[in-house]
């Protein structure tokens, strides 16, 4: 289970690993796709994602849904959890966080297709939902809805 970025194998799997101090310090592990040549969808959901408002320093909360169709590698889930957790002390706007996560995974993993939906809870009375994808989904790929209802508040 090695990849080009870490020839000795995953650095987090089976290891005691501290939460990275920042997204830039977080190292994502990628392992060989167990079904190369098969067009399938992988979904990760982080319903309790947090980052910090870059202006106030207050916590921002989101429900993230990450969908991708792997090419040669898949992202190892523990390293993804640590990467997402590293945003807890990171100040950035919702758009920067959501798109940045998608772009980093797309650049490093080189999937067939990837999309991310960031469903951010309201701050200042307004929820902000941010969506990004690498391009159109492959025609033969089953892509279910992300299943996150619009924010309704107490209504």
- Which residues are identified as catalytic? 53, 60
Cα 6 to Cα 15: distance, rounded to the nearest angstrom: 15
Place of tokens 């289970």: 1
Q: Which two tokens stand for residue 51?
A: 């980052």
Under 8 Å CB-to-CB from 45, ≥6 apart: which residues?
Answer: 63, 64, 65, 66
Cα 84 to Cα 49: distance, rounded to the nearest angstrom: 7
Cα 2 to Cα 97: distance, rounded to the nearest angstrom: 28
Q: Report whether 77 contacts 44 (CB < 8 A).
A: yes
Q: Is 7 exposed, middle or buried (0-12, 13-18, 19+ CB in 10 A)?
A: exposed
């Amino acid at each position: 289970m090695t990849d080009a970025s870490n020839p000795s194998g995953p650095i987090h799997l089976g290891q005691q690993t501290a939460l990275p101090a920042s997204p830039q310090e977080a190292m994502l592990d990628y392992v060989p796709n167990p079904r190369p040549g098969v067009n399938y969808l992988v979904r990760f959901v982080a319903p309790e994602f947090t980052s910090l408002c870059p202006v106030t320093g207050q916590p921002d909360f989101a429900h993230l849904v990450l969908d991708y169709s792997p090419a040669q590698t898949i992202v190892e889930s523990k390293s993804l959890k640590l990467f997402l957790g590293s945003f807890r002390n990171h100040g950035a706007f919702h758009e920067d966080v959501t798109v940045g996560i998608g772009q980093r995974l797309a650049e490093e993993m080189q999937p067939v297709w990837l999309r991310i939906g960031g469903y951010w809870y309201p701050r200042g009375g307004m929820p902000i939902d941010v969506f990004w994808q690498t391009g159109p989904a492959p025609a033969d790929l089953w892509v279910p809805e992300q299943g996150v209802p619009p924010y309704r508040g107490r209504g």
